[in-house]
Amino acid sequence: MQLRNSNIEKLADGTFDALIIGGGINGAAAAAALAGKGARVALIDRGDFAGGTSMHSSNLVWGGIKYLESHDYSLVRKLCKSRNHLIKSFPSTVKEIRFLTTIAKGFRYHPRYLWAGTWLYWVMGNGFTRIPHFLRPAAIKAREAIIETSNAIGGFEYSDAYLHDNDARFVFNFVRSALNYGAVAANYVESQGARRENGLWITRACDVMTGESVEIRARVLINAAGPWVDEHNDLTKQKTRHQHAYSKGIHLIVPRLTDSQRVLAFFADDGRLFFVIPMGQRTCIGTTDTRMESPEVHVTDEDIRFVLDNINKRLDLDKPLGHDDIIATRCGVRPLAVQASAGGGRDFLQLSRKHAIDIDPDQAHISIFGGKLTDCLNVGEEIVDEVKRLGIAVPYPDARWYGEPPESVKEEFMHQARLMELDAMTSPDASEPLSTRLWRRYGTHALDMLEEIREDPRQGELLIEGTEYLRCELRQAQRREMITRLEDFLRRRSKISLVVSREQIRRSPGLREACEILFGDQAQVRFDEYFADDTPPPTEALSPAAEVDNPAHSESLKWA
């Protein structure tokens, strides 16, 4: 907590070039870009970083192939280039993955027509990924035996990308980069509105954990509150050209359905793309698309029935998936940018995820609408440009603010890891060598972890039997990752609570020690806070039969 407390003290110290409200992907990328180029930046979020839309994605980094149908070619081209840029910039985290799409008889397009579309998609992406293939039903069945092909007319395989770790972890790493560049950031600090005085924005903020107030002064105010952008603009009396429409999407996490590392794609009964996404020893299924009037959403029985009905129609399983197979659910809203003056006539399902940035130059106020993970680097660069137009000096305009450390640093880390035989410490259940995982998650700071293990071999031990979290990782999280509540670690810095049932988490013998490392004398309070609700939604619990057949996610935990 020391990092967070010291940053909260700094919020009231002097005047920032920009204050960013909201630590989702838009706010995190904007903070990293501005700080990396030399601006003095503050970032606050009323919850944890990536605690809203940014932790409920499909974990896909894709070029928006579905927007070809609405002829939004410029958006597809832009997203494809962004996807390619992310793969090149974050090769350990953003990886190419094959999508296998099956087309049923009677669908509005023949599979060869759609296959031609994948070639257009591939060309628009500069041929960066592997080439598409047309597949007859027999070839689909040969690649994926679990696909029901009796009603299939054909299909195709093409490439996009996905996040090896979870989406929230990807977002937090931008926040961590901003901190490395000198930004001041704090989670659980809520903006209660702001006023413009003498050329400055003065934001009233409250530390949610203590109730204490702080005033933050900044030359520019950037509203990156995700689905709550409109709400915060009401507080600051901002009139904008755009506003948000809300689409609820859910995913179900179930036991692993196939060993292959590919995404299975179908067209659901409502006509939209529907995915079966690999997640280590788990599978993520979804998503829905339900128009909502507000960003506050939850999973309903109807949502679950939709996902289960669609997947059971399209997969040939020994036993249809049911409620007892659901390990966890994900539920969030997509904030869709729409013109404030537009009517409601456009097909809701055709609305895209492209972002929009509204500027009030007279008051030095910026609002970011919409957006998605794929487009994050563009958002960061565009915000820097807009802040410069508002008269803020950016000392290092050409500085690179994103991406993994240089290859030479990686080579040095891997060399040291080999010398100390780090990979020999890898858990037998692990999905990858320990050196690969530590580098991907921590980059340059993984070198510090090697030093900790050399000084104290216990730091290289698994904190909890069967997990892939070492003691030194928890200590790293305690020092550098601003974990304020236990959920921050279990759900966002890791994806443990997505792939392990609540009761298994409670029974973990090492969780108490993890809490002591993370929270010190507040360990029991944070433990009790997390488990205060002993009646979680039934969709998040496993049946006794499913419990036996559900080993923990190889990427996270195998709880004893």
Segment 123-135 mean pLDDT: 97
Report the pLDDT value the prediction gives residue 548, as an integer from 0 to 100.
36
pLDDT for residue 192 is more than 60:
yes
3-state DSSP call for residue 194?
Answer: strand
Report the pLDDT value the prediction gives residue 347, as an integer from 0 to 100.
52
Query: DSSP assignment, residue 197?
Result: E
Lowest mean pLDDT among 3-12, 209-218, 529-538: 529-538
pLDDT for residue 348 is more than 90:
no
Name the one residue in this structure whose structure tokens are 């360990």: 523
Q: Give the tokens for residue 445.
A: 């700071």
3-state DSSP call for residue 541?
Answer: coil
pLDDT for residue 444 is more than 70:
yes
Stretch (H or E) spanning 282: strand 282-286
Share of the chain above pLDDT 70, in %: 92
pLDDT for residue 553 is more than 60:
no
Torsion of CA 169, 174, 180, 184, to 10 degrees: -100
Report the pLDDT value the prediction gives residue 488, as an integer from 0 to 100.
96
Report the pLDDT value the prediction gives residue 428, as an integer from 0 to 100.
80
pLDDT for residue 550 is more than 60:
no
pLDDT in tens, 328-340: 999 999 999 999 8
Task: Report whether the peptide linkage leading into residue 102 is cis, meaning its omega lies within 30 degrees of zero.
Answer: no
Report the pLDDT value the prediction gives residue 467, as an integer from 0 to 100.
63
Q: Where are the domains of the chain?
A: 1-54+167-241+340-390, 63-163+245-337, 407-531
Model confidence band, residue 499 (pLDDT cutoffs 50, 70, 90): confident
Segment 21-30 mean pLDDT: 98
Supply the pTM of this predicted model. Answer: 0.92
Bridge partners of 334, per DSSP, are 247
Topology of domain 1-54+167-241+340-390, CATH: FAD/NAD(P)-binding domain (3.50.50)
Report the distance separating Cα 41 and Cα 163, nearest Å.
Answer: 27
Report the pLDDT value the prediction gives residue 360, as an integer from 0 to 100.
97
- Which class would CATH give 63-163+245-337? alpha beta
pLDDT for residue 546 is more than 70:
no
Segment 379-390 mean pLDDT: 98
Model confidence band, residue 514 (pLDDT cutoffs 50, 70, 90): very high
Lowest mean pLDDT among 56-60, 321-325, 499-503, 540-544: 540-544
CA–CA–CA angle 145, 148, 151 (5° rounding): 140
Report the pLDDT value the prediction gives residue 541, as an integer from 0 to 100.
36
Stretch (H or E) spanning 99: strand 94-104
Name the one residue in this structure whose structure tokens are 């669908």: 107
Report the pLDDT value the prediction gives residue 429, as an integer from 0 to 100.
73
Model confidence band, residue 349 (pLDDT cutoffs 50, 70, 90): low
Segment 505-511 mean pLDDT: 85
Of 189, 139, 161, 267, the closest CA to residue 23 belongs to 189
pLDDT in tens, 63-82: 889 889 889 999 999 999 99
Work out the number of other CB atoms within 10 angstroms of the CB of residue 452: 18
Of 245, 273, 262, 224, the closest CA to residue 109 belongs to 273
